[in-house]
Chain A
């Protein structure tokens, strides 16, 4: 057992962490999903964890980044980027330099674009597989990770992926541990210079606060608590849908357009 453990090198894990934003007060904080990603990394056996953030350093972002350090880390790698930069090239080059086997990130950022595309664009650039919505990493053996992916309604799917890979976590992963003030204060933000590529696409956008989206009411006519519970726990019934195969993009778009009309999303 011992010699084997010796032979097996530590698993290099990089967790991409972003500056979160509290939904009520808008204060900077450690982002919930990213913190869950850090927690996931900390649950891995023999992992050498690097925290990585690409962005600008100011008072707010520093306190948020120190929130991750407070989970028990001595350093955090800060890839310095101006505010309007596209961080993907910088992150990709930083990752290809440090060569982690597993990269963990949250599903989407709590502020900024928050498109959730970063892991995919990063994976495309690095040529790595990406797995989304992880609940846990069960084991890593011989460069293959066994992952548990969270599906709706508490379902889980076991997947195997060859490393290196990028995985993302959402609210299904276990909650992050408390961030302690002492280690957060002591931790070091290790700044690294990186090429800044301005995000040209976003400079042309206009940004406005999001409107609250309407939520479809699920009307349950239930006479008893049992019925209500069944309705709440029932799987979505896919009775009305249709599967389109071998259709042209136009036909597909047509079908989607028709459905949106029917559902009242487009008027």
Chain B
């Protein structure tokens, strides 16, 4: 009897799945167009899934193996089931392979079930709690119906009651795995995820590449919208990406704003976008909410506003402004969803259309427009800090090996110490460098991340025009934010440069034997990875190499490298200053305390400012440049290799 109903069951489940898939695709197509190579993407998808995605999943070995067993078993079992039971191709080994696949899937689902017994807080509950049972129902029923096919059990084994019971369990399994996959059940992640990998808007990320620069808005076309107002303003593949979320909550576990009790949870944000795309309320969300924001009060639809000017819509503005753009969520996401892109897209609308950048945001943007620096300082006073250093200006020398990009830290007395140290190091190594001086402007980092794309592009274009007047081999900067923007975001505006973070450059100089250090005599040292150097640009090693060269053995924090916790200073977060239960830099200095280090080496003016703002810290904060400058052994005989200072002294005497 089973033989006759099995094909009916399987093909009706498949038909329903196809209808669901068509409906789901229509939801995604509400988004704006975004050209991606369809066939090439589909062809690359298996590799992206098996290599890139599993590279991220593989950070948790148990889960990775569980997923391989369950998903691999399922895909194989599903295909074979259609062949064997749907089309009746039971000859040869197919039945045996199907048995093995369903058994493998069953073992995987046991591990899924074990994980769901005491699930960590980051996992979503609700329908996800039934998933292990559904997986077992599918794998077990497929296994059992295949036993008679391969001849282990007689064809007419058991009674019709048993057959009906088995068919019922199979319907459950098929319902979850085929029907639920395209109609919005937990298995949706497999369907949407596979297509998301194929049509990802940052294809460069696959195969070991990196793509972290924000994408520019077209400001020349007065009709193009400024950022994202409604869910349908996202591009279709962004919507697809949101739909791929598997609600594993790894982003939530890494998000510094969530940990600080600010009203942001990256997972909830992505789920809210899914709610907006499909229309409805967030009441069915079964994971951790935004801290202090109860679930069920927000609702949206594809063409309704995401953030209301007044009252509540899909998300609150504070949620979007809590993000430090540290990219920890993106780095951690096994589905490679781009949370930060989405947040900045929505911020763009709030700033460019609503004119509603919170707290000091408006003031900082006005300053950037009027004075080219966020503090509103006189742009003619950029070089006051270096009045005694006789720094060569590009305007005078026209060309140099290294253009030293100073950044807005020139106005900050703390960062001026770092800059002086860096100048000492460059002179110690005999580098031919020059600075733009008063011709330099803010790189546009803060403006862009506050959503003010217009001010970013204005600053960037003027900086590019200034840079195009001079000849230099490379740009060196001690500010990872400027570094990232110059290196990764000016390209779209036709500014292509070879840019080095000072730690990378110092490491190279040391390798080349141009720097010599005294042995380290201080205490234990730990290193804090700046987000914009590490996760944004993949530079984890050079700063550590420099510290090693100084004779320092780094006592690593539990969260370091690609999992480094943000200092709280990125993305304009100190400017928008959304309140939480604790401060992000305080948490970071606690991380430092746990290592017992007396000193934190940093490589970012923003991190320095944030971490030094922590009261009762157990460790000192020093920029790598300062540590290097302190340990620098200058040439004993200045005549053999005159430093720049010596050259200038000679000039003065001669004239």
Q: Select one of A29, A72, A182 contacting B352, CB under 8 A.
A: A182
Find out whether the CB atom of B371 lies under 8 angstroms from the CB atom of A178: no
* A181 contact set on B, CB distance < 8 A: 226, 351-353, 452, 454
In angstroms, Cα B367 to Cα A9, docked, is 40
Find out whether the CB atom of A29 lies under 8 angstroms from the CB atom of B370: yes
Quick check: is A106 within 8 A (CB to CB) of the other chain? no
B 351-383 to A, binary, CB cutoff 8 A, 1 in contact else 0: 111111100011001100111100011110000
Quick check: is B92 within 8 A (CB to CB) of the other chain? no
* B377 contact set on A, CB distance < 8 A: 24
Chain A residues 148-206 with CB under 8 Å of chain B are 177-183, 185-186
Q: Most chain-B CB neighbours within 10 Å: which of A22, A70, A182, A183? A: A182
Nearest-CB distance from A193 to chain B (Å)? 27
Quick check: is A85 within 8 A (CB to CB) of the other chain? no
Q: Smallest CB-CB separation from A20: which chain B residue?
A: B370
* B361 contact set on A, CB distance < 8 A: 178
* B356 contact set on A, CB distance < 8 A: 178, 180
Q: Smallest CB-CB separation from B372: which chain A residue?
A: A25
Quick check: is B151 within 8 A (CB to CB) of the other chain? no
Q: Select one of B226, B355, B376 contacting A177, CB under 8 A.
A: B355
Q: Select one of B226, B354, B357, B379 contacting A25, CB under 8 A.
A: B379
In angstroms, Cα B354 to Cα A183, docked, is 9
Q: Select one of A22, A25, A183, A186 contacting B355, CB under 8 A.
A: A183
Quick check: is B158 within 8 A (CB to CB) of the other chain? no
Find out whether the CB atom of B352 lies under 8 angstroms from the CB atom of A186: no
Quick check: is B513 within 8 A (CB to CB) of the other chain? no
Q: Smallest CB-CB separation from B353: which chain A residue?
A: A182
Nearest-CB distance from B564 to chain A (Å)? 33
Q: Smallest CB-CB separation from A179: which chain B residue?
A: B355
* B378 contact set on A, CB distance < 8 A: 24-25
Nearest-CB distance from A20 to chain B (Å)? 10
B 216-235 to A, binary, CB cutoff 8 A, 1 in contact else 0: 00000010001000000000
A 71-87 to B, binary, CB cutoff 8 A, 1 in contact else 0: 11000000000000000
Contacts A25-B379, A70-B355 given; does A178 touch B370 at CB 8 Å? no
Q: Select one of B226, B357, B454 contacting A178, CB under 8 A.
A: B357
Find out whether the CB atom of A178 lies under 8 angstroms from the CB atom of B379: no
In angstroms, Cα B371 to Cα A29, docked, is 11
* B369 contact set on A, CB distance < 8 A: 27, 29
* A70 contact set on B, CB distance < 8 A: 355
Nearest-CB distance from B363 to chain A (Å)? 9
B 274-314 to A, binary, CB cutoff 8 A, 1 in contact else 0: 00000000000000000000000000000000000000000
Find out whether the CB atom of A24 lies under 8 angstroms from the CB atom of B370: yes
Find out whether the CB atom of B371 lies under 8 angstroms from the CB atom of A22: yes
* A72 contact set on B, CB distance < 8 A: 355
In angstroms, Cα B222 to Cα A186, docked, is 8
Q: Smallest CB-CB separation from A21: which chain B residue?
A: B370
Q: Smallest CB-CB separation from B452: which chain A residue?
A: A181
Find out whether the CB atom of A180 lies under 8 angstroms from the CB atom of B351: yes
Contacts A182-B226, A186-B222 given; does A25 touch B370 at CB 8 Å? yes
* B376 contact set on A, CB distance < 8 A: 24
* A183 contact set on B, CB distance < 8 A: 353, 355
Find out whether the CB atom of A185 lies under 8 angstroms from the CB atom of B362: no
* A27 contact set on B, CB distance < 8 A: 369-370
Chain A residues 1-35 with CB under 8 Å of chain B are 22, 24-25, 27, 29
In angstroms, Cα B369 to Cα A29, docked, is 9
Find out whether the CB atom of A178 lies under 8 angstroms from the CB atom of B353: no
* A179 contact set on B, CB distance < 8 A: 355
Q: Smallest CB-CB separation from B352: which chain A residue?
A: A181
Find out whether the CB atom of B370 lies under 8 angstroms from the CB atom of A180: no
Nearest-CB distance from B479 to chain A (Å)? 22
Nearest-CB distance from B147 to chain A (Å)? 66
In angstroms, Cα B533 to Cα A71, docked, is 37
Q: Most chain-B CB neighbours within 10 Å: which of A25, A27, A179? A: A25
A 47-73 to B, binary, CB cutoff 8 A, 1 in contact else 0: 000000000000000000000001110
Chain B residues 320-367 with CB under 8 Å of chain A are 351-357, 361-362, 365-366
Nearest-CB distance from B434 to chain A (Å)? 24
Find out whether the CB atom of A71 lies under 8 angstroms from the CB atom of B355: yes
* A182 contact set on B, CB distance < 8 A: 226, 352-353
In angstroms, Cα B226 to Cα A203, docked, is 46
Q: Smallest CB-CB separation from A177: which chain B residue?
A: B355
Find out whether the CB atom of B371 lies under 8 angstroms from the CB atom of A24: yes
In angstroms, Cα B379 to Cα A178, docked, is 22
Nearest-CB distance from A109 to chain B (Å)? 17
* B222 contact set on A, CB distance < 8 A: 185-186
Nearest-CB distance from A178 to chain B (Å)? 4
Nearest-CB distance from B423 to chain A (Å)? 26
Contacts A22-B371, A25-B370, A29-B370 given; does A180 touch B379 at CB 8 Å? no
In angstroms, Cα B43 to Cα A92, docked, is 72
* A178 contact set on B, CB distance < 8 A: 351, 355-357, 361-362, 365-366
In angstroms, Cα B351 to Cα A70, docked, is 11
* B351 contact set on A, CB distance < 8 A: 178, 180-181
Nearest-CB distance from B382 to chain A (Å)? 12
A 210-227 to B, binary, CB cutoff 8 A, 1 in contact else 0: 000000000000000000
Find out whether the CB atom of A180 lies under 8 angstroms from the CB atom of B371: no
Q: Smallest CB-CB separation from A180: which chain B residue?
A: B355
Q: Smallest CB-CB separation from A186: which chain B residue?
A: B222
* A25 contact set on B, CB distance < 8 A: 370-372, 378-379
Contacts A22-B371, A24-B371, A25-B370 given; does A180 touch B365 at CB 8 Å? no
- Which 5 A-B pairs have CB atoms at the shortest separation, nearest pair first? A180-B355, A178-B362, A178-B355, A182-B353, A22-B370
Q: 9 pairs across A/B with beta carbons < 8 Å?
A: A22-B370, A25-B378, A72-B355, A178-B366, A179-B355, A180-B355, A181-B452, A182-B226, A186-B222
| Chain B residues proximal to chain A, CB less than 8 Å | 222, 226, 351-357, 361-362, 365-366, 369-372, 376-379, 452, 454
Other than the given A24-B370, A181-B353, 12 more pairs (CB < 8 A) read A24-B377, A24-B378, A24-B379, A25-B379, A27-B370, A72-B355, A177-B355, A178-B355, A181-B351, A181-B452, A182-B352, A182-B353
